[in-house]
């Protein structure tokens, strides 16, 4: 950590960025594209919460795909200046060109880490790069001295389990979470520094990916660079569900508060050498070591979720009529792909801009105000039996998926609503409350506002006391700078009786707590 | 993320480092000190595994305490060159001096993030820094429109739970793990971008710390910079146990494989404003929201572990006789403190070099070879009843704490040993096996070698078949570049009958698995 966010010395993408030299200023392409998208969502990209969103989105994409520096064509003069500066200060530096449109300049103190000038970019420098990561961390380690057996640098299984990663889905551009497990069997009396297994995996995760290919690439890279007896890579991947699917199946009977609630999951693996035979003894041992950590790979090789259905966007028609009017948005996303040096005509990427726009359009701004038109949204005004006026009613674990307006990334979780019935004998049932939650989450949001709006909407109808607790995982806390994989945010809003009655508040919190304890 | 380790473009401490100008080359102080320490451990700092250790340790200390750039005194010429380069390329840059001995130069593209030249260092720039982090991320958020209550930007509780951090113990220089929970109540219709709560906490964690002060500093910084109605910071901290203590209490009856097994734990909190009264309604709500995530803060304010006993080194006599001969090592550690711009005469740091050396000396190299002198280590040669020769005997969850030779940081966990008795009617009991584990873990190690050596030692005594599985958490995987908090490494060694009998292997793995399932 120690990396500070945009608006500060950028410790995470530290390279020197050129302003575009004499050519067109390409550096702002992603930012411009994001502004187009915001407009398409009916938003004013100059309003406070959105003003820096284009910059944040661009930064996340660039970091997330290891595009550190982009410029049209750095002039010889610029390169010379950097080189001269570094020479004068005895700083190691190197300049790499990966393609006509992407360059990277590295500055590092040769004195301090003895390793200035190594490549970290993508593209052509690819194979060298993994070799570079690995070669400084291959250590001689003797095998067993005597007796029949395997251990140390010759044949003893080594497995690093539970490496948290994230990547970007090439079908829809959304980040997906990865729990990565890497095993290998050393040979030639050489073992690899453990952190390198994680670093190599991360190099391949940091691009537009698809789980199966990701597993293959990590596996092949490790096999090629450390030449062990075999490598086994197993990935558990979670892809966020699209709101359409969430709406269709809000799962009211068995609500779950687990982090991955509602996510699409797949497990994939790739192996080489001694792990090639999946029923072999070594593969069994790998799986046993994972089982110690509660990880079951049973479903991986026996099919599991088909890779064709991995990205939920694939099952939606990407070119539906509703998107025909959004060609300007699709073009904007296509330009983002180009900015990432991806080829939008690559087979896997052809529908991606459509799918990303489709995802975004779930969060289109609506001028319709639910609180003023509540009854049209499944709010039931029927005169029904109302339980005692002082009894707290509650609906727990109403799922939602909103879009963070600061990062254009989803945050998702559950909402708990406690309420007193008012004197007007109106009621709202669970589907009604779910509609309210859905309405306010399907837009560019911040969690604090979402919580407040839900409370106000419910209060508008019932007119007595309402308390709302929202719990959410923010993808921007995982896939961006801070990378706090486990963090989870809770927000609270109280109106009416709850605001003045501390007992009512704590009683409702206790109700939520109990629902968790009973496996909610 | 995306940061690659030493040996590559240093994405985590990217500033330009000067080679010391005309003065003495101070940049290598930590490296030199580490070489002294390695020698004191009886190690050859030129051997392969240790060759880059000084550089790795220095890098970890510098990153871990936000000392990005150090130089004696940059010349005006050097500063001018950087400025000129940046001007020519339309890159924002700024140069800050924090003390006579520490400077930082920042280069950032003003065009891209609009925020070049902000400070991130420590020292004098301190208060400005947190303000800078925060001020770009304070967003206007309306409170409730109508009705009595709190929500949104006025009074609705916001809590980010389970932020993983680590810091360095000022008493012994070892990293400690932190689970951080931050809550605040917005006022003035302003809310803070959620990731900033994590970033501000991280700024204060990235220095030599003590839990209570850390909580206070995070709390005060947030209160001062966002001026909310109140801030509540709760930290759960885990400090690794010293091997002496581990040896005294190996806990053989209730072995645990939990990550924090054997760790010293403390919980602390700090609060301001509306949270000042710990029994108040808002504090209760904060605790309730944490309870949803399984976090119980009951022990925090009612005492818990006394802060005096937090660091296990404090209960050991730091100036024991055995350390008298190590004054050169103590001096080396003192010089590391100075390199981090800490004052070694600061009250809390006075005993720190002694305590760090004391810790290190647990891992002194011994030329004594256990396999050749086994019987002196509680190995029982008594002629006892030996169970059937083909039955697998096992001792599970033998705890250990070793020192990673690549990073001088502990890795710790448990060892499982399965074995067949040989024909010589020798036996080893659990204390005997624990001695072997302790002997091989108390030195500079890598997990693969440790696993092999334990297997060989047991095999030397029993002479039939041995299988060893080691499971460990590596602090270097947490507190250094990759920061994979949850990752855990398993290694395996097999000798004799286990090497040829796949059924025996899988049977032993099943035994371990069952011990986990029954709450091991």
Please, what is the Cα angle at A35 between A32 and A36, to 5 degrees? 90
Residue B10 lies in a domain: no
Over the stretch A154-177, which tens digit does the pLDDT of each residue have? 889 999 999 999 898 998 888 899
Over the stretch B392-445, which tens digit does the pLDDT of each residue have? 999 999 999 899 999 888 999 999 999 988 766 677 888 889 989 989 998 899
Considering only CA atoms, which of B411, B386, B402, B415 is closest in space to residue B512?
B415
> What mean pLDDT, rounded, does chain A reach?
74
- Residue A92: which pLDDT band, with cuts at 50, 70 and 90? very low
CA A444/CA A404 separation, integer angstroms: 6
Residue B119 near residue B203, CB atoms below 8 Å: no
Interface test with B, best of A144, A484, A500, A518 (most B CBs within 10 A): A484
B306 and B377 assigned to the same domain: no
In 3-state terms, chain A is what percent helix, strand and coil (to 5)? 40, 20, 40
Q: Which two tokens stand for residue B41?
A: 């451990």
**Which pLDDT score, from 0 to 100, does residue B223 have?**
94
Determine the distance in angstroms separating the CA of A478 from the nearest CA of chain B, rounded to an integer: 10
Determine the distance in angstroms separating the CA of B498 from the nearest CA of chain A, rounded to an integer: 8
pLDDT at B50 over 70: yes
pLDDT at B23 over 60: no
A32 and A167 assigned to the same domain: no
A135 and A211 assigned to the same domain: yes
Residue A31 near residue A80, CB atoms below 8 Å: no
Residue A13 lies in a domain: no
The pTM of the full predicted model, rounded to 2 decimals, is 0.80
pLDDT at A378 over 60: no
**Which pLDDT score, from 0 to 100, does residue B505 have?**
93
A164 and A294 assigned to the same domain: yes
**Which pLDDT score, from 0 to 100, does residue A322 have?**
61
User: Which of A113, A143, A513 is facing B10, going by the closest CB pair?
Assistant: A113
pLDDT at B82 over 50: no
Ranked by mean pLDDT, the top range of A106-115, A497-506, B92-101, B374-383 is A497-506
B414 and B441 assigned to the same domain: yes
Q: Which two tokens stand for residue A101?
A: 């449109």
Residue A351 near residue A171, CB atoms below 8 Å: yes
- Residue A232: which pLDDT band, with cuts at 50, 70 and 90? very high
pLDDT at B159 over 90: yes
Cross-chain Cβ contact A164/B487 below 8 Å? yes
CA B78/CA B23 separation, integer angstroms: 14
Cross-chain Cβ contact A161/B16 below 8 Å? no
**Which pLDDT score, from 0 to 100, does residue B389 have?**
57
Residue A227 lies in a domain: yes
Phi, psi of B70 (to 5 degrees): -130, 140
Least confident of A230-239, B125-134, B305-314: B125-134
Q: 3-class DSSP state for residue B209?
A: strand
- Residue B47: which pLDDT band, with cuts at 50, 70 and 90? confident
Q: Which two tokens stand for residue A9?
A: 């010395």
Least confident of A106-120, A304-318, B318-332: A106-120
Cross-chain Cβ contact A151/B452 below 8 Å? yes
Residue B456 lies in a domain: yes
**Which pLDDT score, from 0 to 100, does residue A296 have?**
84
Mean pLDDT value across residues A304-325: 65
Least confident of A311-320, B254-263, B508-517: B254-263
More confident residue, B308 or B172: B172
Number of domains in chain A: 3
Cross-chain Cβ contact A113/B59 below 8 Å? yes
Q: How far is CA A436 from CA A247, A374, B70, B153, B305, in A?
A: 12, 9, 55, 21, 46
B66 and B196 assigned to the same domain: no
Residue A388 lies in a domain: yes
Cross-chain Cβ contact A139/B18 below 8 Å? no
DSSP single-letter state for residue A21: T
- The residue ranges of DSSP E strands in B2-101, in sequence order, are 92-99
B388 and B418 assigned to the same domain: yes
Q: How far is CA A39 from CA A33, A195, A322, A329, B414, in A?
A: 10, 43, 17, 9, 56
Angle between helix axes B29-40 and B352-361 (nearest 10 degrees) is 50
How many CA within 13 A on the CB side of residue A133? 27
B375 and B406 assigned to the same domain: yes
How many CA within 13 A on the CB side of residue A417? 31
Chain A residues lying within 8 Å of B292, measured CB to CB:
257, 471, 490, 512-513, 516
> What mean pLDDT, rounded, does chain B reach?
74
* Region at A64 (left for phi over 0; alpha for psi -120 to 50; beta for the rest): alpha
Kindly state the helix (H) or strand (E) to which residue B468 belongs, with its residue range: strand B466-474
Residue B419 near residue B465, CB atoms below 8 Å: yes
Task: Give the ipTM of the model, two decimals please.
Answer: 0.79
Cross-chain Cβ contact B477/A195 below 8 Å? yes
Mean pLDDT value across residues A201-224: 91
Domain boundary among B61, B80, B113: B113
Number of Cβ pairs < 8 A linking chain A and chain B: 464
Phi, psi of A396 (to 5 degrees): -110, 160
First and final CA of chain A: distance in angstroms?
34
A387 and A469 assigned to the same domain: yes
Q: What is the DSSP string of A235-278?
A: EEEEEPPPHHHHHH----SS---STTTT-EEEEEEEE-GGG-ST
pLDDT at B262 over 80: no
Cross-chain Cβ contact A144/B81 below 8 Å? no
Residue A323 lies in a domain: no
Considering only CA atoms, which of A227, A68, A178 is closest in space to residue B8?
A68
% of chain B surpassing 70 pLDDT: 67
B170 and B301 assigned to the same domain: yes
Determine the distance in angstroms separating the CA of B321 from the nearest CA of chain A, rounded to an integer: 36
**Which pLDDT score, from 0 to 100, does residue B452 have?**
95
CA A119/CA B103 separation, integer angstroms: 27
pLDDT at A520 over 60: no
Cross-chain Cβ contact B193/A406 below 8 Å? yes
Over the stretch A53-87, which tens digit does the pLDDT of each residue have? 898 888 878 766 643 322 222 333 344 444 454 45
B337 CB-near residues (< 8 Å, 6+ apart): B208, B343, B344, B349, B352, B353
**Which pLDDT score, from 0 to 100, does residue B142 have?**
86
Q: How far is CA A334 from CA A284, A350, A472, A474, A492, in A?
A: 44, 9, 30, 26, 39
Over the stretch A435-469, which tens digit does the pLDDT of each residue have? 899 899 988 999 999 999 999 999 888 888 999 99
Cross-chain Cβ contact B493/A149 below 8 Å? yes
Q: CA nearest B86 in A: which residue? A: A16
**Which pLDDT score, from 0 to 100, does residue A367 have?**
61
B129 and B216 assigned to the same domain: yes
pLDDT at A21 over 90: no
Mean pLDDT value across residues B133-150: 80
**Which pLDDT score, from 0 to 100, does residue A495 have?**
94
Chain A residues lying within 8 Å of B114, measured CB to CB:
7, 52, 55
CA B4/CA A16 separation, integer angstroms: 17
Partners of A409 in beta bridges? A404
pLDDT at A514 over 70: yes
Q: Which two tokens stand for residue B132?
A: 């800078």
Q: 3-class DSSP state for residue A138?
A: strand
Determine the distance in angstroms separating the CA of B520 from the nearest CA of chain A, rounded to an integer: 11
Residue B6 near residue B56, CB atoms below 8 Å: yes
Q: Which two tokens stand for residue B437?
A: 């584990």
User: Which of A88, A152, A164 is facing B81, going by the closest CB pair?
Assistant: A88
Can you list the alpha helix ranges (DSSP code H) found in B124-193? 126-135
Please, what is the Cα angle at A77 between A72 and A83, to 5 degrees? 105
More confident residue, B231 or A1: B231
pLDDT at A3 over 50: no
What does R_g of chain B's alpha carbons equal in angstroms? 26
**Which pLDDT score, from 0 to 100, does residue B78 have?**
40
Residue B19 lies in a domain: no
B104 and B130 assigned to the same domain: no
Over the stretch B467-497, which tens digit does the pLDDT of each residue have? 999 999 998 887 766 678 889 999 999 999 9
**Which pLDDT score, from 0 to 100, does residue A313 have?**
81
Q: CA nearest A449 in B: which residue? A: B152
Domain boundary among A113, A136, A168: A113
Residue B109 near residue A17, CB atoms below 8 Å: yes
Domain boundary among B85, B113, B141: B113
Interface test with B, best of A492, A505, A508 (most B CBs within 10 A): A492
Determine the distance in angstroms separating the CA of A72 from the nearest CA of chain B, rounded to an integer: 13
Cross-chain Cβ contact B144/A456 below 8 Å? yes
Note down the domain range covering B245: 123-314
CA B315/CA B242 separation, integer angstroms: 11
Residue A2 near residue B63, CB atoms below 8 Å: yes
Sign of CA pseudo-dihedral B449, B452, B456, B462: positive
Q: Which two tokens stand for residue A292?
A: 């110690």
CA B213/CA B197 separation, integer angstroms: 17
Residue A319 near residue A247, CB atoms below 8 Å: no
- Residue B112: which pLDDT band, with cuts at 50, 70 and 90? very low
CA A10/CA B117 separation, integer angstroms: 10
CA A441/CA A418 separation, integer angstroms: 18
How many CA within 13 A on the CB side of residue A383? 1
Residue A493 lies in a domain: yes
DSSP single-letter state for residue B370: G
Please, what is the Cα angle at B1 between B10 and A45, to 5 degrees? 115
Q: 3-class DSSP state for residue B192?
A: strand
Which CATH number goes with the domain that contains A439? 3.30.1130.10
pLDDT at B88 over 90: no
Q: 3-class DSSP state for residue B155?
A: coil
Residue B493 near residue B439, CB atoms below 8 Å: no
Chain A residues lying within 8 Å of B165, measured CB to CB:
1
CA A490/CA A469 separation, integer angstroms: 7
């Amino acid at each position: 950590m120690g990396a500070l966010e945009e608006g500060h010395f950028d410790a995470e993408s530290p390279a020197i960025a050129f302003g575009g030299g004499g050519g067109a200023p390409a550096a702002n392409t992603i930012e411009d594209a994001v502004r187009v998208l915001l407009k398409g969502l009916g938003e004013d990209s100059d309003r406070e919460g959105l003003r820096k969103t284009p910059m944040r989105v661009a930064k996340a994409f660039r970091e997330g795909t290891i595009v550190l520096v982009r410029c049209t064509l750095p002039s010889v003069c610029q390169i010379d200046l950097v080189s001269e500066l570094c020479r004068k200060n005895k700083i190691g530096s190197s300049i790499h060109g990966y393609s006509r449109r992407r360059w990277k300049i590295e500055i590092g103190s040769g004195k301090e880490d003895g390793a200035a000038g190594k490549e970290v970019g993508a593209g052509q420098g690819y194979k060298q790069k993994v070799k570079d990561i690995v070669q400084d961390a291959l250590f001689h380690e003797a095998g067993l001295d005597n007796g029949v057996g395997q251990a140390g640098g010759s044949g003893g299984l080594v497995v690093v389990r539970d490496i948290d990663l994230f990547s970007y889905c090439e079908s829809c551009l959304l980040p997906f979470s990865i729990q990565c497990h890497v095993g290998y069997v050393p040979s030639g009396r050489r073992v690899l520094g453990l952190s390198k297994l994680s670093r190599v995996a991360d190099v391949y995760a940091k691009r537009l990916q698809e789980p199966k290919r990701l597993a293959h690439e990590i596996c092949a890279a490790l096999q090629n660079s450390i030449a062990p007896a075999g490598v086994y890579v197993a990935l558990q991947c979670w892809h966020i569900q699209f709101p359409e699917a969430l709406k269709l199946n809000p799962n009211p009977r068995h609500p779950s508060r687990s982090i991955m609630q509602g996510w699409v999951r797949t497990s994939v693996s790739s192996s080489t050498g001694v792990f090639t035979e999946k029923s072999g003894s070594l593969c069994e041992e790998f799986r046993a070591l994972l089982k110690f950590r509660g990880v079951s790979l049973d479903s991986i090789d026996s099919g599991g979720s088909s890779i064709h259905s991995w990205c939920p966007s694939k099952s939606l028609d990407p070119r539906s009529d509703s998107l025909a009017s959004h060609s300007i948005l699709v073009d904007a996303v296509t330009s983002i792909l180009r900015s990432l040096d991806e080829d939008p005509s690559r087979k896997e990427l052809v529908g991606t801009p459509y799918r990303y726009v489709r995802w975004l359009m779930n969060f289109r701004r609506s001028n319709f105000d639910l609180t003023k038109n509540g009854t049209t949204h499944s709010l039931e005004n029927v005169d029904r039996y109302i339980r005692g006026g002082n009894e707290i009613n509650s609906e727990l674990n109403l799922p939602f998926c909103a879009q963070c307006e600061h990062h254009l990334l989803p945050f998702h979780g559950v909402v708990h609503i406690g309420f007193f019935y008012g004197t007007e004998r109106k009621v709202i049932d669970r589907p009604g409350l779910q509609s309210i939650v859905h309405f306010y989450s399907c837009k560019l949001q911040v969690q604090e506002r979402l919580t407040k709006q839900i409370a106000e909407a419910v209060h508008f109808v019932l007119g007595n006391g309402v308390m709302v607790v929202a719990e959410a995982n923010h993808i921007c806390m995982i896939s961006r700078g801070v990378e706090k994989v486990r963090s989870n945010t809770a927000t609270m809003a109280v109106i009416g009786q709850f605001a003045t009655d501390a007992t009512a508040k704590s009683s409702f919190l206790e109700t939520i707590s109990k629902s968790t304890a009973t496996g909610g």
